[in-house]
Amino acid sequence: MTDLTILHRLAETIEARKLADANNSYVAKLFHGGHDKILKKIAEESAETLMASKDGDAKQVVYETADLWFHCLVLLAYHGLNPDDVLQELARREGISGIEEKASRTIG
């Protein structure tokens, strides 16, 4: 089983590349494109993940989910966040019913 350090290594790489030359770095190209470009990639990768699942192609589901997670890491970096922020939230929710957790959210 692969451990979670890959998420941290990817987050560090994304952080290191976000101000790089957009001609030499895909991450920098996303950041130079701004928030909307990052969101568009997440929407695209989400749709591709859904279609792979609908097609019943498990290998493609893994491939597209990896793309989706990568772009979500880019979005986290855009907001000054990292995988630990999400992992802490998941840990907070552990053992709580999804129904209870949703009911406990404040409308903001």
Give domain limits for the chain. 5-104
Q: To the nearest whole number, what is the mean pLDDT of the chain? A: 92
Q: What is the pLDDT of residue 3?
A: 78
Q: What are the CA-CA distances from residue 23 to residues 13, 42, 91, 107, 108 (Å)?
A: 17, 21, 39, 42, 40
Q: What is the CATH number of domain 5-104?
A: 1.10.287.1080
Mean pLDDT of 56-85: 97
Q: What is the pLDDT of residue 101?
A: 66
User: Are 11 and 82 spatial neighbours (Cβ–Cβ below 8 Å)?
Assistant: yes
Q: What is the pLDDT of residue 4?
A: 76
Cα separation of 52 and 64, whole Å? 7
Examine the pLDDT at 105 and tell me if it is beyond 70: no
Q: Is 83 helix (H, G, I), strand (E, B) or coil?
A: helix
Q: What is the pLDDT of residue 96?
A: 74
DSSP 56: T
H/E element holding 67? Answer: helix 58-78
